[in-house]
Amino acid sequence: MTAPQKTDDRTCPFHGLTDSVDLLKQGYLFAGKQREQHSNAGSDKPLWVRLLGKPSLLVRGDEGVRLFYDDTRIKREGAMPLAIRGSLFGKGSVHGMDDEAHRHRKATFVKVCYDDAQVERIAPMVEAELREAAQRWRKHPDSVYDSAVIAYGRAAMRWAGIEGRDAELDVQARRLGRIVEGFAHVDLDHLRSWRDRRLTDRWCAQVIREQRSGKRNAAPGTSLYEWANHRELDGQLLDAKTAGIEMQNTIRPHIAVARFAAFATKALFEHPQWRERIQAETAERGTLVGGPLATAFAQEVRRCYPFVPMLPAFARTDFEFEGEHVSEGDRILIDILNTNVDPNSWERADEFDPERFLDVDFEQITSFIPQGGMDVATGHRCPGEKIAVGSLASTIAALCEPEVEILPDGLDFSWTQMPTRPSSGGLVRAHG
């Protein structure tokens, strides 16, 4: 069977929304099944599919990444469906911007999240919260996912300059967690994510107003301070709601890493030899932070386990790509999941092997895109990725402590539900 050719809306054989329905049914399996259906399973060759009534070119691998993040050929404004864009990223956020406006707004994210001093500043906050979570595990078994939402949320908000009682910050952390939980569901979870989006937008806008009025006193360099004072290219301050949304976008992705923490629990249970190695590393270093083995394990978890399946963009001009003619306005989809495990880009791609990330600068690996690809400052790679890796690595180190027991219940997960995680969230208990 040959891959279908792109046609216009009047003659397209896809019958409108067929592939969109398949995406909802198949979830993370969609891209792989499309390739199998069109005899393209082992190839990085681009594949035409049809989503939301438009021809869409599905790409993966090194060349697919280079195309998707080439701003001379690709633009993002309006590409993400509103149902996802609005609830997950927020109206008016950086994720839908292009060109100089995007680079200008992105520079504040880079200053807040990517600067090494900011990365280092959050690490002990996360470690303290993880050690407190481990104390709770001594009282009763708990979900690593739920524990990480609270640990990452408290740490991220205080790192952002938002002071408050634990109970107040926990409310916001859980709301941000539910926003991520419901962004791709077609059920009540999605409606709840919109409700939580409205409540969180309102709270964050008030925090911005309090910073601007002097009621709060976040320090320069913190997310709250920088977004309260960020000016657009025209010199105008962002309105309080949009500034609050962008401040959220420095916090919510950190909380989203809780899904990877749940997957790390599963991976550690299935690869106990790594628990022993990481436990010894932590004992020698005397800290949960920065262990090379724990960091390599975190990277392999991010490579192998699913979170975002694909990201969309539009062609901003006509061009040829690997034998396919792309017209201005065609949708381009980067297959994130299958790029991260692409056998044409990775040796032993189907094996879980953290060794591949030892002594490696992960940002230089073109085909490693769990949180976006190419350059942080000029492209759409997440500037908080180093923070995400560090927090996940610290969590892995905490899970490897000798008193922590990983329970086997509920480590299964669905490949058809997006986003997904182990059904129990990864249950643990601590002894002693």
10: DSSP letter: T
Q: What is the model's pLDDT at position 14? A: 38
User: By percentage, how much of the chain surpasses pLDDT 70?
Assistant: 90
Q: What is the model's pLDDT at position 166? A: 97
- CA nearest 240: which of 213, 217, 222, 266? 213
Strand partners, 50: 55
Is the Cβ–Cβ distance between 294 and 400 less than 8 Å?
A: yes
In this predicted structure, the answer to whether residue 6 has a pLDDT above a threshold of 60 is: no
Q: Considering only residues 84 and 150, tell me which one the structure prediction assigns the higher pLDDT.
A: 150
My answer on whether omega of the bond before 343 falls inside 30° of 0, hence cis, is no
Q: How confident is the model at residue 78 (pLDDT cuts 50, 70, 90)?
A: confident
Measured distance CA(22)–CA(38) in Å, rounded: 15
Q: What is the DSSP string of 40-103?
A: -TT----EEEEETTEEEEEE-HHHHHHHHT-TTTEE-TTTS-HHHIIIII-TT-GGG--HHHHH
Q: Which of these ranges, 98-112, 197-211, 358-372, 387-401, has the smallest mean pLDDT?
A: 98-112
Torsion of CA 64, 68, 73, 79, to 10 degrees: 130
Q: What is the model's pLDDT at position 51? A: 81
Q: What is the model's pLDDT at position 1? A: 34
Which of 9-13, 25-29, 75-79: highest mean pLDDT? 25-29
Q: pLDDT by residue (tens digit) across 127-180?
A: 999 999 999 999 999 999 999 999 999 999 999 999 999 999 999 999 999 988
Instruction: Quote the pTM value.
Output: 0.92
Measured in whole angstroms, the distance separating CA 50 from the mean position of its chain's CA atoms is: 25
Q: Which of these ranges, 71-80, 374-383, 414-423, has the smallest mean pLDDT?
A: 374-383
Q: What is the model's pLDDT at position 85? A: 54
First to last CA, the chain: 61
> Which amino acid belongs to residue 151?
A
- CA nearest 148: which of 258, 235, 310? 258
Q: 2, exposed or middle or buried, with CB in 10 Å at 0-12, 13-18, 19+? A: exposed
Mean per-residue pLDDT of the chain: 89
Measured distance CA(13)–CA(102) in Å, rounded: 37
Q: Which domains does the chain have, with CATH numbers?
A: 91-305+349-430 (1.10.630.10)
In this predicted structure, the answer to whether residue 344 has a pLDDT above a threshold of 50 is: yes
Longest dimension (CA), the chain: 69
Q: What is the model's pLDDT at position 101? A: 84
In this predicted structure, the answer to whether residue 16 has a pLDDT above a threshold of 50 is: no
> Which amino acid belongs to residue 331?
R
| pLDDT average, residue stretch 44-55 | 85
Q: What is the model's pLDDT at position 190? A: 66
Query: 259: part of which helix (H) or strand (E)?
Result: helix 258-270
